[in-house]
Structure 1
Amino acid sequence: MLALTSICTLVGGLAAVIYTDTLQYFVMLGGSMIVVIKGFQEVGGYTELQRKYLVAIPEKMIDNSTCGLPRVDSWQMLRDADPTVSDMPWPAFLLGQMPASIWYWCTDQMIVQRALAAKSLSHAQGGTLLAGYTKLLPLFIIILPGMISRVLFPNEIGCVVPEECYKFCGSYQSCSNSAYPKLVLEYLPNGIRGVMLCVMLSAIMSNLTSIFNSASTLFTMDIWSYFRPKAKGKEQLMVGRIFILILVGISILWIPIIERTQGGQLFVYIQVIAAYLAPPIAAIYSMAIFWKRMNEMGAFWGLMSGFVVGMVRMALDFYYGEPACYEEDNRPFLIAKIHYMYFATMLFWITVVVAIVISLCTKPTEEWRLIRSTFFTRFDHSVRQDDLEMKERVQNELLSATPALSEIGEAKTPVRWYHRAYNFLFGFDNSPEAKENVIAMNAHLVEITNLHQKRWEKILLNTILVSILVVAGILFTYFSINPFTEEEVHQLQREKLRELGYTNILQ
């Protein structure tokens, strides 16, 4: 998958990534809806799912242990604040997930690149709102089908005995990662099963193409251009393609590490890693927008301090590992008692404090760099020094690439086949049409880099924004009210345990 995706990204670039992502969006949405409908038909509806999930207990349990029993708060989204009681404390979720969300939705190149590709500010905001509404769907098309899968396959998906888990899915920790594929393979007919295979492969390829393209852009424009400030577009294109190949190699080497450290719950593993790496970026991004006194030194040392602290926690997590449910937790206090979301909150504010101190102790940023780069200067129409430099550089490249008038009438030298293949692979195009497109794009950029919006566009977009906030609030409230009391859950589970022959659990 990594190799095939890299070929797609190498040859197609950002345009291919966006077009394929759009197509894959409809494939994933349509296929997932089929799984949801089929799953609810099998369990008898949402109300039955709520009850049956709580008694989805595997036949083989560990004596005198509640490991393997569905949690009492399984249907409660915002859970107890005490991390020793809850696996996701509500203050930790609200305060710790916020930095990760700011990082992903506001600073991750994969997302930002799509907003910057919009035709106008209104298009960018409208696309963002559509993505927000779409992001509500995973609860219904991924989470609930996963819970349905545990109801239908309690022995496989809910396994707790390490040997049983390994027999079912090749992991000693858990088989939660197999919940969705298991449901697809067992309950869908062959034709629909093929569609769902496309859905899962589309989800993987969509992420990988976006990451490869965005990472190569960052490396080329920020790192390579720093060491090679006069590098031309042709050189930058080649460097970006080569960097993608390097990323593929690193990704393949990282696969065994993921398999060993994700503990049978890949999504949780992703959130944990984000909690250690994202808060410093979110903190610096927020301060840079809302505090004009922030300077480069403050941002750099804030990021570095946050990065070091986050990496120390991540290294400790990798070294000690999470003990099994039935094992005693002898890890250090920092890991065992401080939930990773609480740690993300602390990491965010550590970065903020370091950035403020360093910024105040060093020289402020030049005034021209603040033009249109903070929330309070976004409407400033003054000319930036770097805008002039970029415009001059682009014009010089165009002049150097444009043939002389005397050459236009001459017969064109035929391009050999290997030159054409080389140009196609690395995205080089020196045709007159390509030069005209570059000139038109620069003119278009001048037009769209202002923040002008029509009145009706503002009203419509703000109305949609308010509506999505209301919908999200309603969903959080509804799914944070537990439909069962603790005693009701235990009573249901006692009856199921007695059926399975266990009388020494939940006595």
Structure 2
Amino acid sequence: MAATMEVADIVVVAIYFILVLAIGFLAMRKSNHNTVNGYFLAGRSMNWAAIGASLFVSNIGSWLFIPVYIQSGVFTMPEYLSKRYGGRRLKVYFAALSLILYIFTKLSVDLYAGALFIQESLGWNLYLSIILLITMTAVLTVTGGLVAVIYTDTVQAFLMITGALCLTGISLVKVGGLEGVWTKYMQASPNITAILLSSPNLTYSESCHHHLSPKPNALRILRGPRDPDLPWPGFLLGQTPASLWYWCTDQVVVQRVLAAKNIAHAKGSTIFAGFLKILPMFVIVIPGMISRIFFADELACISPEHCLEVCGSEAGCSNVAYPRLVMSVMPVGLRGLMMAVMIAALMSDLDSIFNSASTIFTLDIYKMLRKKASSRELVMVGRLFVVAMVIISIAWVPVIIEMQGGQMFYYIQEVTDYLTPPVAALFLLGVLWRRCNETGAFWGGMVGFTIGALRLVLALVYREPLCDQPDERPSFIKDVHFMYVAVLLFWGSALVAVVKSAQTTLTSTKWQKEMEEEGGMRRRWKRGIALKQEEQSLGGG
């Protein structure tokens, strides 16, 4: 059975809170956070190490796009679209889409994950825990801006790596090393008889049997084209290009790089973050596999009824694997460290989302409506928007609990794969192809967004049934993986943008030629009249 938090663990967590708050406020005092440049981009003064650590805790970016962004001098990604293509349509579209995605995917995942860990370790009320964590994160973000976010992220990155490495080391010793992981994981199936004997009221359906044992190809990355989890054609042709949205155009990721003091620090930060990003394979994936080995009877629950009893979700209990391992194998004190690590991960994501969302709202929406707004007014609006985000986040908690279903990873992947591939295509074309114009980009984005939004609505209406229920969804829903939809959206949007840009360019060229020809005819006609008048004048003389 999992242990519970003791006094020493709680002391460690309290020290962490004090440390993070102190660093955040010290960083705030050193920065000019009352100006737009200082509040939203840390005065463009950050070094590669701080940015790299911050990128790691809130994920990394690709530096192919960095020189373009820095040279354009933009604050936000919607602003870049507006500068590159002209007009306001693309700017408003991407700004609104970004804010929607932040609220309904990023915040929902972070809030649920943090609340779940607190529930496993402390048994606190979910709503009280979430309100306290969001409030503390918002205080840092509202008062200190991006400077406070980056410096606290740097401390949290060190804390996360240290705690996660400790958990990995202790878990590997208990399971028998990497060899023990590879052999025991494939045998990690629940003892159905023992579970049913211990809980006589439980039922077990044979239709749930395929969920109980790891799949034969569980340790393979590239799987068959009809694999329900990770089909390789969809992954390579759809997921990988669509990931350009997250790695290269998401405000949460790019905003840190824009805060670099120069291009060398910007590139160095992403390379540093890339090296750190190798660690999750060892400090997240392997501990998750070990947790399945130790708690197969719980994590591989035998029925929706059993899953509800174990973790409060009928769809599955994989979400509690990591916190359950922490509370079971870590000694007193280190449990508190890991509690702080999980809080660090939650706070890093939340403060990143709050800061980036306030930047987009203030500079891309509010400033467009009030062009003469002062710098102080813009900073104040940014802070007030963070407060509004906090209120929306807390109000969204009941919906999160209802819709999480035990499969939050697939939920966020589905939503982003249905809405973001067209955006990735527009940015890629904008950087690599000069002839792509605003008309082509707009219609490419709108066609892709319409198809993706329709598919998302259908996916939400026709949800995957529980394992003991028949799957009566339409074939185009249950048999078409969302990664294949991402293939259609990315390449289809790019094709529409290219064709429409070429068409409008040809039309413009043709119109220009016609105008030039018409102008030539008018000039010749005027010249003819002038010559005739001159002849008449000479003849009359």
Do the two structures share a fold, i.e. TM-score over 0.5? yes
Q: State the Cα distance separating 1:26 from its structure 2 match.
A: 0.4
Aligned counterpart in structure 2 of residue 150 of structure 1, from 288, 292, 309: 292
How do residues 398-413 of structure 1 correspond to structure 2 at under 5 angstroms? none
Q: State the Cα distance separating 1:357 from its structure 2 match.
A: 3.0
Aligned counterpart in structure 1 of residue 382 of structure 2, from 240, 245, 268: 240
Find the residue that maps to 1:178 and give its secondary structure.
Answer: helix
Aligned counterpart in structure 2 of residue 67 of structure 1, from 189, 211, 215: 211
Q: State the Cα distance separating 1:322 from its structure 2 match.
A: 1.1
Q: State the Cα distance separating 1:363 from its structure 2 match.
A: 5.8
Deviations 1:438-458 (A, max 9, x none): xxxxxxxxxxxxxxxxxxxxx
Q: Is the 8 A contact 2:303 2:467 kept in 1?
A: no
Segments of structure 1 that go 5 or more residues without pairing to the other structure are 367-507
Q: Is the 8 A contact 1:261 1:318 kept in 2?
A: no
Q: State the Cα distance separating 1:326 from its structure 2 match.
A: 4.1
Find the residue that maps to 1:87 and give its secondary structure.
Answer: coil
Which position in structure 2 is the counterpart of 1:55? 187
- Distance across 1 between alignment mates of 2:372 and 2:496: 34
How do residues 67-86 of structure 1 correspond to structure 2 at under 5 angstroms? 67-83=211-227, 86=228
Aligned counterpart in structure 1 of residue 354 of structure 2, from 201, 205, 212: 212
How do residues 213-292 of structure 1 correspond to structure 2 at under 5 angstroms? 213-292=355-434
Aligned counterpart in structure 1 of residue 304 of structure 2, from 138, 162, 169: 162
Q: Is the 8 A contact 1:261 1:321 kept in 2?
A: no
More off after superposition, 296-305 vs 146-155:
296-305
Deviations 1:399-449 (A, max 9, x none): xxxxxxxxxxxxxxxxxxxxxxxxxxxxxxxxxxxxxxxxxxxxxxxxxxx
Which position in structure 2 is the counterpart of 1:338? 480
Q: Is the 8 A contact 1:33 1:141 kept in 2?
A: yes
Find the residue that maps to 1:342 and give its secondary structure.
Answer: helix
Which position in structure 1 is the counterpart of 2:22? none
- What is the RMSD computed on CA atoms of the aligned residues? 1.8
More off after superposition, 201-210 vs 308-317:
308-317
- Distance across 2 between alignment mates of 1:315 and 1:21: 36
- Distance across 1 between alignment mates of 2:302 and 2:401: 18
Aligned counterpart in structure 2 of residue 300 of structure 1, from 442, 448, 461: 442
Q: State the Cα distance separating 1:18 from its structure 2 match.
A: 0.4
Paired positions, count: 363
Which position in structure 1 is the counterpart of 2:277? 135
Q: State the Cα distance separating 1:362 from its structure 2 match.
A: 3.3
Q: 1:100 to 1:194 in 2, by over 3 A?
A: farther
Q: Is the 8 A contact 1:310 1:347 kept in 2?
A: yes
How do residues 473-488 of structure 1 correspond to structure 2 at under 5 angstroms? none
- Distance across 2 between alignment mates of 1:117 and 1:212: 16
Q: State the Cα distance separating 1:325 from its structure 2 match.
A: 3.2
Q: State the Cα distance separating 1:294 from its structure 2 match.
A: 1.5
Q: State the Cα distance separating 1:178 from its structure 2 match.
A: 0.1
Q: State the Cα distance separating 1:149 from its structure 2 match.
A: 0.3
Q: State the Cα distance separating 1:254 from its structure 2 match.
A: 3.0
- Distance across 2 between alignment mates of 1:277 and 1:238: 31
- Distance across 1 between alignment mates of 2:395 and 2:504: 41
Q: State the Cα distance separating 1:304 from its structure 2 match.
A: 2.2
Q: State the Cα distance separating 1:217 from its structure 2 match.
A: 0.6
Q: State the Cα distance separating 1:165 from its structure 2 match.
A: 1.1
Find the residue that maps to 1:186 and give its secondary structure.
Answer: helix
More off after superposition, 16-25 vs 87-96:
87-96
Query: Which letter does structure 2 place at the counterpart of 1:63?
Result: E
Q: Is the 8 A contact 1:39 1:148 kept in 2?
A: yes
Q: Is the 8 A contact 2:258 2:266 kept in 1?
A: yes
Find the residue that maps to 2:206 and give its secondary structure.
Answer: coil
Find the residue that maps to 1:362 and give its secondary structure.
Answer: helix
- Distance across 1 between alignment mates of 2:301 and 2:242: 31
How do residues 386-405 of structure 1 correspond to structure 2 at under 5 angstroms? none
Q: State the Cα distance separating 1:258 from its structure 2 match.
A: 3.3
- Distance across 1 between alignment mates of 2:487 and 2:302: 32
Aligned counterpart in structure 2 of residue 181 of structure 1, from 305, 312, 323: 323
Which position in structure 1 is the counterpart of 2:502? 360
- Distance across 1 between alignment mates of 2:441 and 2:389: 27
- Distance across 2 between alignment mates of 1:148 and 1:28: 19
> What TM-score results when the alignment is normalised by the length of structure 2?
0.65
- Distance across 2 between alignment mates of 1:278 and 1:130: 26
How do residues 456-471 of structure 1 correspond to structure 2 at under 5 angstroms? none
- Distance across 2 between alignment mates of 1:118 and 1:325: 49
Segments of structure 2 that go 5 or more residues without pairing to the other structure are 1-132, 193-203, 509-541
Q: Is the 8 A contact 2:252 2:352 kept in 1?
A: yes
- Distance across 1 between alignment mates of 2:163 and 2:205: 37
Q: State the Cα distance separating 1:298 from its structure 2 match.
A: 2.2
- Distance across 2 between alignment mates of 1:307 and 1:248: 28
> What TM-score results when the alignment is normalised by the length of structure 1?
0.69
Q: Is the 8 A contact 2:359 2:382 kept in 1?
A: yes
Q: Is the 8 A contact 2:304 2:466 kept in 1?
A: no
Q: Is the 8 A contact 2:211 2:300 kept in 1?
A: no
Larger Rg, first or second structure (1 or 2): 2
- Distance across 2 between alignment mates of 1:355 and 1:252: 39
Q: State the Cα distance separating 1:113 from its structure 2 match.
A: 1.1
